[in-house]
Homo-oligomer: A and B are copies of this chain.
Amino acid sequence: MNANNGEERIVHEVALVLPKRTRKEEEEEEDCVEVLVTELKKRGMVVDRDVGLADEFLKVACLVVPRIRQVAAPLETLESAAAELHIRKPTRLGMDLPFEVQGSEAFIQQPDGSLFSWFERFRCYQHLLYGIVNCYGHDVTLKLDGRELCWAPEESLVRKLESEGVIKQMFPLHDELKRKELLRTWALNWWNFTNQPIDKIYSYFGAKIGVYFSFLGMYTQWLLFPALLGFIVQMVNFGSLQYLVLPSFFVITTLWAALFLQFWKRKNAALLARWQINCLVGPSQGYRFLGMEWSSLPFPKELTKNLGNEKFKEKEPYQRYEWFAYRKRFSNDVFVIISIICFQLPFELAYAHTYEMITSNIIKFVLTAVYLLIIQYLTRLGGKVAVKLINREINESVEYRANSLIYKVFGLYFMQTYIGIFYHVLLHRNFTTLRQVLLLRLIISQVFWTFMDGSLSYLKYSYRKFRARKKKRSEGGPSTGKIQIASRVEKEYLKPTYSASIGVELEDGLFDDSLKLALQFGMIMMFACAFPLAFSLAAVSNIMDIRTTALKLLVTLQRPSPRAAATIGAWLNIWQFLVVMSICTNSALLVCLYDKEGKWKMEPGLAAILILEHVLLLLKFGLSRLVPEEPAWVRANRVKNVTQAQDVYSKQLLRSSSSEFASMVKPEQEQQKED
């Protein structure tokens, strides 16, 4: 599968999909695909062509693995692309510097020994592919099946071909050798339970997916303790001490959850340190600076120019800008919260109420089916509204926008998942139903999701395969029996991508997987007192989940594009929120459980004050999260300083030139004095 020339294995990492043409030999020189291949080769990339059933594929490689050392070595092309992109990498000197070809030995290698991470390589590939411009100085006419295209000077060839519909897709390719290794050591290694080769996952899929699986593994491992405890609580009768069991279980699980989240933060920091990803401000807010250049901060250019002199006048526009952005986000959040409360809450309550009122099982079933259809539509609508709102916000980076989406959409799912259960418990005090509902949801959701994930992907793949075969058949040719898909690239192309169910613009499939996990956590924590066995179910479900998700990523889907973030981002805050919520709901559950005859009365005044107190407590802790701890201009100043400094250093150090430091500093000084 990989071209083995002598002692090297060439790793094709990106594929371009082109339409299959009825090639005419005499036009070959002007044919756009031929031109593209020539240009790619001219720029030092290794290009292999693959003709599939319905399409043609260009496999691009810039990475070579020598047979002897088994450590991937990038070609010069990749290195120079990295230098052109000024990719900031940690050096042996302990700080991130923009990559330079001459000083490449100073940069710290990845855990697997290679120089660039998958995220960096993918950025380079993109840069290389989109960087092919017409440098002949005149229009070049390209031909495609008789059609003529005009490639203007300084125009990007790949972009041109994409806009003309010639390049259908650019997608990352699986590395067959590594994929098989991961399949063996990770996805099919069921007896490892929660252990996973996290470093290998990181170097194959990038930091975001690596962190997710690390989180999933740690969560499942920690879950074993309350799972065992929950099993004991559910099964054993403690006799006269029975009335103490549930409150103790409540206390223990709450402490467990708080500790787990704290230790996860530590683990995340450790992961980042091992992967040599530098975060300036700690793991909880770390992605803010991750791989970000000064220019990608969301401040307008004219603001950043004069920064550095500490005068009050220059701080003001920053502060105004910060508050402007903050106000927009805030009003959006208020809008989302109000619309969830005004539209979704009544709807959910109406459904729960109708369900409780109806006695006929058939009508119940019909009602549930209708309800499920409606919420499908509602969730999609909510996702679209959320994306629209976010596009109007000013967020610092793509990952910030993704987090913003997560908060908004989670609000929706939170209402959808839990409000009905609350209704059943609090108003009707029906614990048997509650347990049934929880059991059903936990098992069904697990089975349903796994089934959906697998079957949907397979159906999509089959359908696309069918279409490709049909196309091939309709083109004629000797249709002898069944047509097989021989090319691996084509198979991968036909596989579905790892995409989110809503908000595809901002998130990928991790959104769905994380959402599922968060909803499960909420389910088991918030109703811990009502159904301690849920922890055991969740543990079993998660152990299965690790492997099925791994299989999904390795087998049924295209290799996902790597993402920049290196934390679980917004999900951490959502988990914290769920822990606080669970304290409140479990208290309510305990009241319901021990006060079955309604003897403990809450007079309206007392109840009002209690509610007030809780709202205030939540507000207090919410506020400390909402308002950023550092003014934007301070942050901007710091980032600029660091960036400036590092630019100077890198030039100084990497080129080993005897610079005139004093002469460089002095004009600056004089300039400041003049100010």
Contacts and interface: CB of A to CB of B under 8 A. Distances in A.
Contact of A610 (B254, B255, B274, B610): B610
B658 A95 contact: no
A181 B600 CA distance: 67
Interface string A250-292: 1100110011011101100110011000001111100000000
A629 interface: yes
A207 to B, nearest CB: 16
A620 B262 CA distance: 10
B661 A658 contact: no
A599 B605 CA distance: 10
Contact of A645 (B94, B111, B624): B94
Interface string A631-647: 10010011011111100
A591 interface: yes
Contact of A606 (B270, B281, B600, B666): B600
Contact of A620 (B94, B258, B643, B656): B258
- Copies of chain A in the complex: 2
A661 B262 contact: no
Nearest to A257: B620
A564 to B, nearest CB: 20
A92 B591 contact: no
A587 to B, nearest CB: 4
A587 B630 CA distance: 32
A235 to B, nearest CB: 24
A609 B591 contact: yes
A629 B583 contact: no
Interface in A626-675: 627-631, 634, 637-638, 640-645, 648-649, 652-654, 656-662, 665-666, 668-669
B660 A656 contact: yes
Contacts of A138: none
Contacts of A620: 254, 258, 579-580, 583
Contacts of A609: 247, 587, 590-591, 594
State the majority secondary structure of interface residues on A: helix
B630 A266 contact: yes
Interface in A560-604: 576, 579-580, 583-584, 587, 590-591, 594-595, 599-603
Contact of A642 (B95, B310, B605): B95
A631 B269 contact: yes
B270 A634 contact: yes
A612 interface: yes
B654 A661 contact: yes
Interface residues of A, number: 90
A616 interface: yes
Nearest to A634: B273
Nearest to A655: B661
A106 interface: yes
Interface of A: 91-95, 103, 105-106, 111, 247, 250-251, 254-255, 258-259, 261-263, 265-266, 269-270, 273-274, 280-284, 310, 315, 576, 579-580, 583-584, 587, 590-591, 594-595, 599-603, 605-606, 609-610, 612-613, 616-617, 619-621, 623-624, 627-631, 634, 637-638, 640-645, 648-649, 652-654, 656-662, 665-666, 668-669
19 contacts: A93-B644, A94-B641, A105-B662, A106-B665, A258-B619, A259-B623, A262-B623, A263-B627, A265-B630, A266-B628, A269-B629, A580-B617, A587-B609, A590-B612, A595-B606, A600-B605, A649-B652, A653-B661, A656-B660
